[in-house]
Structure 1
């Protein structure tokens, strides 16, 4: 008997095992669960950009969040890598496991709407600079009718950036935050962000220090730094949108993927600590 909708985000880290993710999804589908898969493909983007001779760069926001520098050429590479390499590989593996799936980007039926970031602050050698020609965006809405129709038919949507901006042009958006927004918009029971780490670590140098639970703080959480920061931002957004079980978990091993998809393992992310009522009130 199914337990509702699970949104799974398969990270683009080269260590994440797509075959293990697909096998876990197949188990869930056979159990009667609805599943939606969101994916990135950073390793494929890097490899394809190298072959095409397109230089890649990063933007480091003042709060420490790292994002991809997305000029027009980079956006073309991102779209080619996600829609032309990462997505077909996932669809083929799901088909091998007899899981019906449909590949989509945020441009299909305008599924993902975003506002282009017209001015981005980035820190370079200790100085804050403003970048104005980037083709990245911030999600503003998720159009759910097509996704709901596919899920009602027992089909697994396989979704990735880019999104459609207000000027009618594509923009790159963060796939973790896409997964959180989709989970919230569809009223998902669970969101699982699979990555190349066992979860949120108490000590970033000790893989054995994974925390069973992590409570995010008010505002952006900078406690962990690096690529985990944006995952915690996405996790918090999902919690605030009403997703009951939000996890950051290890996508490198079949057993860790299965545990996370079953609602176990990894780090369960909780919202900020409630403010206690003043007993004098």
Structure 2
């Protein structure tokens, strides 16, 4: 089933037009091209946390990478926002387009397994501290049989965090890296990470500075900041897993979505050095 598979990540920022992404997914389905849709929901998480009075925080690692602070209350909000609001909105949009889809989290049938990060190093007020109560994790495996079965029936899986940790409890995992792991595990031909920007920019304040191609390396690129850092990490992991075409693309317009799904536009991510492709 892996032949021709596209894994699409619909970014969760307010700038990304989920309707446009769903329209692109619908076109792939009409063309009999299998597709898995992975999503986040950062804007909805922020909005719901505000309504519930749950303060949100961030962790800044010593290398400058920024991630969501996931204490138990935040994990509840993330789960509610993704499974209860972001996912139903995508499913309804796909239904309006005539696409049969099933909403899943990583907890369903143990689809996503992760190792909980029991000790995180973070920089607070210039000092490096260790955070031990965070409920975030690092993906360790993707169970693909259910996804393959749904695709074989002509159904689009719509997948999001959380994942299941070793202790049997949920943990938050990054949705870009979920999309990358799914693409690698299923032998996808293409991974497209849709975001609220044209792609990878040489200057984040200049939309015209788009990299048509970006060679990703291990470690953090100091010229790239914000949420793009983890997208590049996810892209590199997908390349190392054997995914042939990996793109970070503009999810704000129907035209840019269509171009990226056809293998054009956005930023094509390539490896800085050759890796031996290892398909799982």
Q: Tell me the residue number matched to 2:9.
A: 9
Where does 1:120-199 land on structure 2 (aligned, <5 Å)? 120-199=120-199
What corresponds to 1:25 in structure 2? 25
Q: Matched residues in 2 for 1:173 and 1:84: separation? A: 17
- Alignment root-mean-square deviation, CA: 1.3
Alignment-derived partner of residue 70 in structure 2: 70
The offset of 1:126, in angstroms, is 1.6
Residues 34-59 of structure 1, C-alpha deviation per residue, up to 9 Å, x if partnerless? 00000000000000000000000000
Q: How far apart in 2 are the matches of 1:167 and 1:222?
A: 36
Equivalent residue number for residue 114 of structure 1: 114
Give ranges in structure 2 of 5+ residues lacking alignment.
Answer: 276-280
- TM-superposed CA distance for 1:202, in Å, is 1.1
Aligned to 2:278: none
Residues 69-127 of structure 1, C-alpha deviations (whole Å, 9 max, x = no match): 00111000000000000000000000000001000000000000000000001111221
Aligned to 1:266: 266
- Secondary structure of 2:242's counterpart equals coil
1:180 deviates by 0.1
Is contact 1:63–1:222 with CA below 8 Å preserved after alignment?
A: no
Provide the C-alpha distance between the structure 2 equivalents of 1:62 and 1:184, rounded to a whole number of angstroms: 28
Contact 1:100 1:154 in 2 (8 A): yes
Contact in 1 for aligned 2:202/2:223 (Cα 8 Å)? no
| Gaps in structure 1 of 5+ consecutive residues | 276-281
What is the aligned residue count?
274
Contact 2:115 2:140 survives alignment (8 Å):
yes
Q: Contact 1:3 / 1:33 at 8 angstroms: preserved in 2?
A: no
